[in-house]
Amino acid sequence: MTLEIELLPILSDNYCFILREPEQGITGVVDPGTDGPVATRLDELGNGLDWILITHHHADHTGGNLALKERFGCRIAGPAAEAARVPGIDLELRHGDSFRLGAETATIIDTPGHTRGHISFHFPDSRALFCGDAMFVLGCGRLFEGDAAMMFASFARLLALDDETRVYCGHEYTASNARFALSVDAGNAELQARGREISELRAKDQPTVPSTIGRERATNPFARAATAAEFGRLRKLKDQF
Ligand code: ZN
Ligand code: FE
């Protein structure tokens, strides 16, 4: 059985994800940056909440932690290296750890760069990756705490996953990322086609998430960078774009 995954847009452009493990009936939420709409949706679903999964400490990913914990009595799992800044954390996760959500198991992948302790959750049986603000559709997170070499190495770890792995990232930044990607990789036919698809989705206010590792490998300029230096050059260009 695989995870059922629901995308919940919150705040201005964040995505929070509601995970349902059907075999044991366990519910998880990834990166609840606020509590109100998340609690409302969880109440509608009527299954309670067992776990909050946190990729990094920023408030737009953790702002709902304490209120949701208080209301649902759930536990909170997040990056060990940022434990002091993750409100309510119960379980500290490190690279290579397994995190069990009922019968489904995630492997923890270190993905620093945006923040120094940023982690991603990979559920291989469900072919799903929750990567917060590390990899975005056609982009990557800003380097607030880490450097280009760090994020380049993080990308390499994510790009080693199967092509079919679905990429659930923390923001809907795709339209702006697509404009940038086309500006640096104009001759990429797959990217051009994708740009058109993205424009159509956004015109209808539809999410562009999830992507897949295969699509990112082929069209994300940061995934196509061959060296940390090139990655860093692209990141600087994007910061000024
Ligand atoms: Zn962030
Ligand atoms: Fe964020």
Catalytic residue among 61, 110, 118, 122: 61
3-state secondary structure of 165: coil
Catalytic residue among 58, 110, 118, 122: 58
87-107: average pLDDT: 98
> Is 171 in the active site?
yes
> Taking a C-beta distance cutoff of 8 angstroms, is the pair 102, 21 a contact?
yes
Buried-state track 29-59, b at ≥16 Cβ within 10 A, e below 16: bbbbbbbebbbeebeeeeeebbbbbbbbbbe
Where in the sequence is the domain holding 40, given as residue range(s)? 1-93
> Is 56 in the active site?
yes
Q: How many domains does the chain have?
A: 2
- When pLDDT is cut at 50, 70 and 90, the band that residue 222 belongs to is very high
Same domain, yes or no, for 198 and 143? Answer: yes
Rounded Cα–Cα distance for residues 93 and 118 (Å):
10
- When pLDDT is cut at 50, 70 and 90, the band that residue 1 belongs to is low
How many angstroms is it from 148 CA to the middle of ligand 2? Answer: 18
177-186: average pLDDT: 97
Q: Per the domain annotation, does 99 fall within a domain? A: no
Same domain, yes or no, for 214 and 132? Answer: yes
Ligand that lies nearest to the alpha carbon of residue 85, given by its number in the listed order: 1
Catalytic residue among 31, 35, 110, 133: 133
- When pLDDT is cut at 50, 70 and 90, the band that residue 211 belongs to is very high
Average pLDDT over the chain reads 97
> Is 57 in the active site?
no
Same domain, yes or no, for 225 and 125? Answer: yes
3-state secondary structure of 121: strand
Q: Please tell me the predicted confidence (pLDDT) of residue 70.
A: 98
Q: Please tell me the predicted confidence (pLDDT) of residue 184.
A: 97
> Is 162 in the active site?
no
> Taking a C-beta distance cutoff of 8 angstroms, is the pair 167, 210 a contact?
yes
Q: Please tell me the predicted confidence (pLDDT) of residue 35.
A: 98
Dig out the tokens for 184 from the structure: 């640096």
Relative orientation angle of helices 174-184 and 189-203, to the nearest 10 degrees? 160
Q: Per the domain annotation, does 13 fall within a domain? A: yes
Q: What is the pLDDT of residues 10-28, one digit of tens each?
A: 999 999 999 999 999 999 9
How many angstroms is it from 36 CA to the middle of ligand 1? Answer: 20
81-89: average pLDDT: 98
Same domain, yes or no, for 135 and 207? Answer: yes
Q: Please tell me the predicted confidence (pLDDT) of residue 40.
A: 98
Q: Per the domain annotation, does 103 fall within a domain? A: no
Rounded Cα–Cα distance for residues 104 and 159 (Å):
22
Catalytic residue among 31, 50, 110, 114: 114
140-164: average pLDDT: 98
> Is 60 in the active site?
yes
